[in-house]
Structure 1
Amino acid sequence: MGSAGVRLGRLKANTSALFVCDIQEKFRGLIHGMPAVVDTASRLVRSAEVLEIPVFVTEQYPKALGNTVAELALPPKALVFEKTKFSMCTSDVDKAFRKMNLDGIGQVLLCGIETHVCVLQTVLDLVEKHNVEVHVCVDGVSSQRETDRSVALRRLQGLPNVFLCTSEMAMFQLAGDSKHPKFKQISALAKEKRPDQLSAL
């Protein structure tokens, strides 16, 4: 929080959770820039594991759409939920997240698909129902059509307590200091070669 109660969006590892929305096998050939989404999500998941940040993962009707892509290599402690609702905030997710929220988790870092449907509705629910900051990684969200993605990001940009960021911005904010004991691991993740990146908006 800044002066006069203004939220500045300063991410901290001990108050953050990572939400990964529906990055599933069936969408590989459908989503614009899917390799970048998968690469970014993988880097965020590994950063969360290094920094001991809780990870929430949803899978939209996995019986038909497949499970989370293997490249994400979800850590053992990741909480994985099936859903049919577009928003990640199902009753099960709400229940699990509410417990963490009471323990001081008040910021969510979000990546996944599709930006204009599941990601947007997740943001609305998180802000409205849980009163948390949501940090949307623009290099880790996409839709089938570029126009839908762009318009959704512009809509998100205007919402209260919602911040657009890149995965690298988020990772270095979460570490906070080059003297952080896990800084070298975070720095190594940031330096990895990446596929063609998605546009900002």
Structure 2
Amino acid sequence: MALRRCHLNPKKTLFLLCDIQEKFRPAMPLFDNMVKNADKLTKAGKALDVPLIVTEHYPEKLGKTVEQLDISHAKLVSGKTYFSMFTPEVKAAIKELFNDKPEDVVLYGLESHICVEQTAIDFLQQNINVYIVADCCSSRLNQDRDLALDRLRQAGCVITTSESVIFDLVRDKNNPKFDAIRKLVSPPSVDMKLTRQPSDSDVGSSKL
């Protein structure tokens, strides 16, 4: 069942950055574009005081998070062997941050059809709204990414984009953080060639 779409509240939202590591760069189409969009989103989260948790998949072999992403404000940077980010270490950090759980998680990274998808399902099972930032996600094949996004939409996730998330968190031009955010969003996000798979209720296809 789809969860209720609501406005994001910085005090009740958690950013989850999933496995954007240097060793994946050669295998991922549009990797550099994804990193640019993820950089914008991550910096906006920092400016808006949204807590961030970062995972790195098997970092002993696959390396650390790419240097372009400033994760210095992360509440946890955790290595993992699980595909899902919903590890015991992450669960403990979430409980400490929210004294229970967030209302919403904003999830982005790679690979869309493996670690991102399994993470999203685990959070949905906790009755937490999951926002998948499509222009900050990647897979080795674009078709895997696009089909994963379609499955996650059907599972109840909100499929969104970096700028949509940022402006929903800001909500008001008079927000005291708006000047900092305006500098981040002034350059447009980079195109990730996203296409939406048609469902039974769709006529033709549409952009996300």
TM-score (norm 2): 0.88
Question: Which of 144, 158, 183 does residue 178 from structure 2 map onto?
Answer: 183
1:61 is matched with which residue?
A: 58
Q: 2:53 aligns to what SS in structure 1?
A: strand
Closer, same or farther in 2 for the Cα pair 1:200/1:79, shift >3 Å? farther
- Is 1:132 the counterpart of 2:128? The answer is yes
Closer, same or farther in 2 for the Cα pair 1:141/1:48, shift >3 Å? same
User: Residue deviations 1:101-122, cap 9 Å, x none?
Assistant: 4366211111100000000000
Closer, same or farther in 2 for the Cα pair 1:175/1:200, shift >3 Å? farther
2:41 is matched with which residue?
A: 44
Report the count of equivalent residues.
Answer: 194
2:203 is matched with which residue?
A: none
In structure 1, what is the Cα distance between the partners aligned to 2:34 and 2:75?
19
Q: 2:26 aligns to what SS in structure 1?
A: coil
In structure 2, what is the Cα distance between the partners aligned to 1:103 and 1:165?
25
- Is 1:172 the counterpart of 2:137? The answer is no
1:90 is matched with which residue?
A: 87
1:79 is matched with which residue?
A: 76
Question: Which of 187, 192, 198 does residue 197 from structure 1 map onto?
Answer: 192
> 1:102 is matched by which residue type in structure 2?
N
Deviation at 1:159, TM superposition (A): 1.4
8 Å Cα contact 1:139/1:167 also seen in 2 = yes
Q: 2:35 aligns to what SS in structure 1?
A: helix
Question: Which of 5, 24, 37 does residue 8 from structure 1 map onto?
Answer: 5
8 Å Cα contact 2:15/2:45 also seen in 1 = yes
User: Residue deviations 1:58-98, cap 9 Å, x none?
Assistant: 00001100100000021244410000000011111011112
Identity %: 36
8 Å Cα contact 1:35/1:195 also seen in 2 = no
Deviation at 1:144, TM superposition (A): 0.1
> 1:141 is matched by which residue type in structure 2?
C
> 2:118 is matched by which residue type in structure 1?
Q
In structure 1, what is the Cα distance between the partners aligned to 2:147 and 2:192?
18
Deviation at 1:32, TM superposition (A): 1.9
* Unaligned 5+ runs, structure 1: 1-5
In structure 1, what is the Cα distance between the partners aligned to 2:189 and 2:122?
31
1:108 is matched with which residue?
A: 105
8 Å Cα contact 1:22/1:60 also seen in 2 = yes
